[in-house]
């Protein structure tokens, strides 16, 4: 079953992508060049600086960096594995780890001497496969917080202190729903919690969201589900059963997408075909708030004419706040053309030296504590307080962090859960329908 699935995936990708990738323009390295792929244009200058320092320390080795957009990145990367044009090193995402493990395209990094204690807790351990080998070297991390339009919050009488102390529950939404309702305004100027509010003609939504959240809901519903005590699978890493059939999870989803029915949450049509992501809604004044990741800090604070603030995720029924903590890594491809050079480059990327350089650009939080501190200082120079993102990592007393689900057949899970979640959001499909989807997913995992 497993072999058939991997072959089927590879075959489908070959038919759709191989033609455009196998024209003799190999992405592989030659001579003393190490090819490196990443997707974030904002991070490109920082890694160009690391590459320059690395080349000085390693005469004769050259780093060739290729940057492309998120969607193109994964499409071309997967196709490159099939066509034999894969880069030597690439920025890896934990959400894709299971898929690449299935395809057996990653080189073990056990010989690099990665010490988990050198990085923020949990980042390094996430990249150890079921076979006990390491396949990713810690790169950076991110958490999720609530971005809000300061002017709209002030007009609604909501102080930063109030926004930082919100709580929620799946029955009535708690103070979080009250705040979101009050931030919502219809075309007649009525707020969502006022008599006569017209939910069919909303001018400003209290909350924007970047779609249905697929199966992880990172910047949508994940913080609510986790703070209610739910987890994606039966194990933290390499789970064998998903739990989308959980009554706790389904109560969270019913409440969350119920906000759209009430007119407080922007409808699915605002995000169809990716035309208006959450940040664009806040930038345009269409929405007052949005949960989003730390990688978007510079984007939100760069909006023209909009003063942005950030707040913690709300406290849930467990008595704690929750936020996904995702950690990216650098991986070496199994068929890398310059494997020795790639190993040196990845070792340098994970070093405190490079991570402090990256942190100094104030774009992401590097994986080492010193790199993180450099980033916090860089954001402070820009006048940006990032406490809403860093508190959960530094102090676990009132907060909890969790990771993306890491399992086999990641691509298959995505293909099943994505349309099911969209159906709930877009078409008001019964949340109980997730029981069937969950059964299908677990059937695949059990094979």
Share of the chain above pLDDT 70, in %: 92
d(C-alpha 342, C-alpha 141), whole Å: 22
Asked whether residue 52 falls in the same domain as residue 88, the answer is yes
Backbone angles phi, psi at 147, to 5 degrees: -85, 140
Asked whether residue 248 falls in the same domain as residue 178, the answer is yes
Asked whether the predicted pLDDT for residue 142 surpasses 50, the reply is yes
Instruction: Assign residue 376 the CATH number of its domain.
Output: 3.40.190.10
Asked whether residue 33 falls in the same domain as residue 135, the answer is yes
CA distance to 41, 49, 343, 344, 360, per residue, from 55 (Å): 21, 10, 14, 11, 20
Asked whether residue 263 falls in the same domain as residue 342, the answer is no
Binning the chain into helix, strand and coil, the percentages to the nearest 5 are 45, 15, 40
Domain around 21: 2-141+326-383
Whether residue 125 lies inside any domain: the answer is: yes
Whether residue 398 lies inside any domain: the answer is: no
Share of the chain above pLDDT 90, in %: 86
Strand order in the sheet with 326-332: 62-67, 33-38, 89-92, 326-332, 137-142, 365-366
pTM of the model: 0.91
Whether residue 86 lies inside any domain: the answer is: yes
Asked whether the predicted pLDDT for residue 22 surpasses 90, the reply is no
Q: Environment class of residue 273 by beta-carbon count within 10 Å: exposed (0-12), middle (13-18) or buried (19+)?
A: exposed
Query: With bands split at pLDDT 50, 70 and 90, how would you rate the model's confidence at 274?
Result: low
Asked whether residue 75 falls in the same domain as residue 188, the answer is no
CA 130 to chain centre: 22
Asked whether residue 172 falls in the same domain as residue 266, the answer is yes
Average pLDDT, stretch 411-438? 96
Asked whether the predicted pLDDT for residue 29 surpasses 50, the reply is no
Neighbours of 120 (CB within 10 A): 22
Whether residue 75 lies inside any domain: the answer is: yes
The answer to whether 349 and 256 have CB atoms below 8 angstroms apart is no
Asked whether residue 252 falls in the same domain as residue 122, the answer is no
Asked whether residue 178 falls in the same domain as residue 34, the answer is no
* Single residue among 341, 367, 383 that ends a domain in this structure: 383
* Single residue among 334, 349, 383 that ends a domain in this structure: 383
Whether residue 44 lies inside any domain: the answer is: yes
d(C-alpha 338, C-alpha 342), whole Å: 6
The model's pLDDT over 147-187, given as tens digits with 9 standing for 90+, comes to 999 999 999 999 999 999 999 999 999 999 999 999 999 99
The residue with tokens 């990665």 is 114
Average pLDDT, stretch 407-423? 94
The answer to whether 140 and 364 have CB atoms below 8 angstroms apart is yes
Asked whether the predicted pLDDT for residue 218 surpasses 90, the reply is yes
Asked whether residue 301 falls in the same domain as residue 160, the answer is yes
Q: Per this entry, what is the length of the chain?
A: 447
The answer to whether 81 and 411 have CB atoms below 8 angstroms apart is no
The model's pLDDT over 59-90, given as tens digits with 9 standing for 90+, comes to 999 999 999 999 899 999 999 999 999 999 99
Whether residue 403 lies inside any domain: the answer is: no
The CA angle 326-328-329, to the nearest 5 degrees, is 145
Whether residue 39 lies inside any domain: the answer is: yes
Average pLDDT, stretch 21-34? 54
The number of domains in the chain is: 2
The model's pLDDT over 99-108, given as tens digits with 9 standing for 90+, comes to 898 889 999 9
Find the helix or strand (DSSP H, E) in which 180 lies. helix 174-183
* Single residue among 383, 401, 427 that ends a domain in this structure: 383
Please give the DSSP secondary-structure letter assigned to residue 364. Answer: S
CA distance to 104, 181, 274, 289, 322, per residue, from 206 (Å): 45, 6, 20, 6, 21
Query: Which of 150, 156, 147, 145 has its CA nearest to residue 307?
Result: 150
Whether residue 21 lies inside any domain: the answer is: yes
Asked whether residue 154 falls in the same domain as residue 191, the answer is yes
Asked whether residue 168 falls in the same domain as residue 135, the answer is no
Asked whether residue 82 falls in the same domain as residue 129, the answer is yes
CA distance to 95, 98, 112, 143, 355, per residue, from 116 (Å): 20, 21, 12, 19, 15
The model's pLDDT over 348-364, given as tens digits with 9 standing for 90+, comes to 999 999 999 999 999 99
């Amino acid at each position: 079953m497993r072999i058939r699935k991997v072959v089927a995936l590879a075959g489908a990708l070959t038919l759709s992508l191989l033609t455009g990738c196998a024209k003799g323009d190999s992405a592989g390295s030659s001579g003393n060049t190490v090819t490196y792929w990443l997707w974030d244009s904002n991070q490109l200058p920082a890694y160009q600086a690391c590459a320059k320092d690395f080349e000085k320390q390693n005469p004769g080795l050259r780093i060739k960096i290729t940057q492309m957009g998120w969607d193109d990145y994964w499409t071309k990367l997967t196709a490159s594995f099939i066509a034999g044009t894969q880069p030597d090193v690439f920025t890896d995402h934990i959400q894709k780890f299971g898929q690449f493990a299935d395809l057996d395209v990653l080189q073990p990094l056990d010989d690099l001497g990665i010490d988990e204690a050198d990085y923020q807790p949990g980042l390094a351990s996430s990249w150890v496969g079921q076979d006990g080998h390491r396949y990713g070297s810690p790169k950076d991390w991110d958490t999720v917080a609530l971005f809000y339009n300061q002017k709209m919050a002030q007009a609604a009488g909501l102080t930063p202190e109030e926004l930082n102390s919100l709580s929620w529950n799946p029955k009535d939404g708690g103070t979080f729903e009250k705040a979101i309702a009050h931030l919502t305004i219809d075309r007649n100027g009525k707020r969502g919690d006022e008599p006569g509010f017209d939910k069919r003609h909303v001018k400003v939504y209290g909350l924007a969201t970047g779609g249905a959240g697929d199966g992880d809901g990172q910047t949508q519903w994940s913080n609510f589900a986790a703070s209610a005590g739910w987890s994606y699978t039966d194990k933290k890493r390499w789970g064998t059963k998903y739990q989308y059939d959980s009554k706790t999870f389904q109560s969270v989803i019913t409440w969350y997408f119920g906000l759209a029915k009430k007119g407080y949450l922007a409808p699915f049509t605002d995000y169809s075909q990716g035309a208006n992501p959450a940040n664009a809604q806040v930038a345009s004044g269409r929405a007052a708030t949005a949960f989003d990741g730390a990688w978007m800090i510079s984007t939100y604070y760069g909006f023209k004419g909009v003063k942005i603030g950030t707040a913690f995720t709300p406290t849930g029924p467990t008595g704690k706040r929750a936020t996904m903590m995702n950690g990216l890594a650098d991986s070496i491809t199994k068929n890398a053309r310059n494997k020795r050079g790639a190993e040196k480059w990845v070792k340098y990327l994970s070093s405190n030296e490079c991570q402090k350089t990256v942190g100094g650009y104030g774009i992401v939080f590097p994986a080492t504590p010193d790199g993180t501190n450099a980033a916090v200082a860089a954001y402070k120079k820009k006048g940006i307080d990032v406490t809403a993102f860093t508190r959960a990592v530094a102090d676990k007393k009132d907060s909890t962090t969790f990771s993306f689900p890491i399992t086999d057949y990641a691509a298959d899970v995505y293909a099943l859960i994505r349309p099911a979640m969209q159906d709930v959001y877009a078409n008001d499909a019964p949340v109980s329908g997730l029981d069937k989807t969950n059964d299908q997913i677990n059937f695949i995992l059990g094979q």
